[in-house]
Amino acid sequence: MRSAGRDRWLALVAPILLLAVATVAVVRFHWVQQSSWQGAGFGMFATHDYVPSRALRATASIGGTDRAVPIPAGLGSRVERVLAAPGDAAMVSLAEDLRSWAGADGLVLEVVGHDVTLDHDAMVVTLRSVRRVEVP
Amino acid sequence: MTARLLPAWRDLIGPIDVLIGRLSLLLVIVNTNYDRPVMIAAAIGAAVIAPHPRLIRSPWPWFALAAVIGTAQARIWWRVDDHVVATTYWLIGFGAAQFAGDPILVLRRSARLLVGCIFVLAFGWKVLSSQFTSTEFFQYTMVRDSRFEVVSQTIGGMGDDELASARTDLAELSRSGDIGDRVVVAPGPRTATVAGLLTVWGIGIEGAVAASFLAPLRGRWRRLRPTTLVVFCLTTYGVVPVFGFAALLLTLGMMQENEARLRPIYPVALVLVPLSSYLLDRLGS
């Protein structure tokens, strides 16, 4: 009898783990704009707001002049992380590091994404700001 | 000769828990998110564990594999696909089942609940997403995602040039557009219809898999489980080739199956998934 009760719980170990992590993904979707495709929430193919449709741009202010800063290729993994969840602290930390690297007085880091509206004969895609961070 | 071969074949397949254990070890190698060190570690682990039923029926090799792979996945969680993480959950579930009085029953239940939970989540996200229910998601994806090229061109009727030009415009918009800038994409003559059908089918089939795996079905009604899962895998991964996810779902499906004669359906479907994807690709080209 006790064994049957224990067996029931053992069968729940993996599903509970899955639901717990998925709950974190749902919370982060609402709080830090984490894409539903990332973070083991099983929300892939539910929205078009995901890493491939987002882009990261940096604008540095050097001596009173603003200019676009190319993101170094070596930061690829950090960039991907920021694109996956722009709302968390990783974006501020990346902005700080880019500012030092560019030797800038200030830096604006922005994640942009696509908004889609359907017209009768066309699909209209509008560029929108997902998150904008300014350092210092 | 045949009589001599049959027992050997039976030994190779083994009891269901040993067979699923061996398939799960292969799954780990397939689902490593192209991380070479993890793939090598998984392959070494599989080579050590697979030949020995005693090791397969011990919880510790599974927990050790899950710890190594799970740690690697947690370090780069934003790059790891959901099914790769689900494979780690299954390793933990497999290990936990070895503590049970009846490990096979626990594995069966655990596999069924895992599939059910995955599909409840996938269904929930889609139903609650206005981007999905408005068909916006598929209309956009048919243009943006190259995996849908065959669908958008062959069925949706979008031309080569129109598709290439729309993709260039979208990439340019992200690269250098100002906030509020717009790109107007002219879809193919049947894009909206196809997107509508894919939307309805996506919600319908995922809801059906979730319901059939989570509902306490009895008797013949249980056959809804292999039916819905195999139909889902063929219609989804035949178009979007995510072989690792198909392999995970079909392995879990095979484990939860209590009618032994229905079990071969799952490996057959696993062969048909890449085959249908290949044929569709050929059709498109």
CA atoms of B243 and B70, how far apart (whole Å): 20
CA atoms of A89 and A63, how far apart (whole Å): 27
**Which ranges of chain B have pLDDT less than 70?**
1-13, 285
**Contact residues for B167 (Cβ-Cβ < 8 A; gap 6+):** B143, B144
Q: Within its chain, how far is the Cα of A121 from the centroid?
A: 32
- Closest to A32 measured CA to CA, from A102, A100, A115, A90: A90
pLDDT at B5: 53
pLDDT at A104: 92
Question: Strand order of the sheet with strand A65-69?
Answer: A65-69, A55-62, A106-118, A123-135, B182-185
Q: Is there a contact between A13 and B129 if contact means CB atoms under 8 Å apart?
A: no
**Contact residues for B173 (Cβ-Cβ < 8 A; gap 6+):** A114, A125, A127, B181, B182, B183
Interface of A with B in 19-78 (CB under 8 A): 19, 21-22, 36-49, 52-55, 77
pLDDT at B272: 95
User: How far B240 CA lies from chain A's nearest CA (Å)?
Assistant: 11
Q: Within its chain, how far is the Cα of B68 from the centroid?
A: 22
Q: Is there a contact between B170 and A85 if contact means CB atoms under 8 Å apart?
A: no
pLDDT at A57: 95
Query: Under a CB-based contact definition with an 8 Å cutoff, are residues A58 and A101 in contact?
Result: no
User: How far B103 CA lies from chain A's nearest CA (Å)?
Assistant: 8
Phi, psi of A114 (to 5 degrees): -110, 135
Ranges of each domain in chain A: 51-135
| Facing A47 at nearest CB: one of B137, B174, B192 | B137
ipTM for the assembly = 0.93
**Which residue's structure tokens are 């996945």?**
B73
Residue by residue, DSSP assigns B44-105 as: HHHHHHTT-HHHHTSHHHHHHHHHHHHHHHHHTGGGS-HHHHHHHHHHHHHHHHTTSSSHHH
Q: Is there a contact between A127 and B102 if contact means CB atoms under 8 Å apart?
A: no
Cβ contacts of A40 on chain B, cutoff 8 Å: 77, 80, 82, 85-86
pLDDT at B12: 60
Cβ contacts of B249 on chain A, cutoff 8 Å: none
**Contact residues for B76 (Cβ-Cβ < 8 A; gap 6+):** A77, B35
Q: Is there a contact between B92 and A14 if contact means CB atoms under 8 Å apart?
A: yes
Q: Quick check: A13 contacting B, CB < 8 Å?
A: yes
Residue B260, judged by CB atoms within 10 A of its CB (0-12, 13-18, 19+), counts as exposed
pLDDT at A49: 94
Q: Is there a contact between B144 and A17 if contact means CB atoms under 8 Å apart?
A: no
Q: Is there a contact between B77 and A126 if contact means CB atoms under 8 Å apart?
A: no
CA atoms of B168 and B174, how far apart (whole Å): 10
pLDDT at B11: 59
Pull the structure tokens for residue B55.
């090791």
Mutate to test the interface with A, among B27, B69, B89 (most CBs of A within 10 A): B89
CA atoms of B134 and B136, how far apart (whole Å): 5
pLDDT at A4: 85
Q: Is there a contact between A38 and B129 if contact means CB atoms under 8 Å apart?
A: no
CA atoms of B158 and B235, how far apart (whole Å): 21
pLDDT at B134: 95
Query: Under a CB-based contact definition with an 8 Å cutoff, are residues B247 and B269 in contact?
Result: no
pLDDT digit string (tens) for A2-33? Answer: 688 899 999 999 999 999 999 999 999 999 99
Cβ contacts of B152 on chain A, cutoff 8 Å: none
Q: Is there a contact between A122 and B173 if contact means CB atoms under 8 Å apart?
A: no
pLDDT digit string (tens) for A84-98? Answer: 999 989 999 999 999
User: How far A92 CA lies from chain B's nearest CA (Å)?
Assistant: 17
| Facing B173 at nearest CB: one of A14, A40, A125 | A125
Q: Is there a contact between A118 and B134 if contact means CB atoms under 8 Å apart?
A: yes
Q: Is there a contact between B136 and A36 if contact means CB atoms under 8 Å apart?
A: no
Mutate to test the interface with B, among A123, A126, A128, A129 (most CBs of B within 10 A): A123
- Angle among Cα A44, A48, A51 to the nearest 5 degrees reads 75
pLDDT at B10: 58
CA atoms of B247 and B242, how far apart (whole Å): 9
Q: Is there a contact between B173 and A114 if contact means CB atoms under 8 Å apart?
A: yes
Query: Under a CB-based contact definition with an 8 Å cutoff, are residues B237 and B277 in contact?
Result: yes
Ranges of each domain in chain B: 12-99, 118-160+186-285
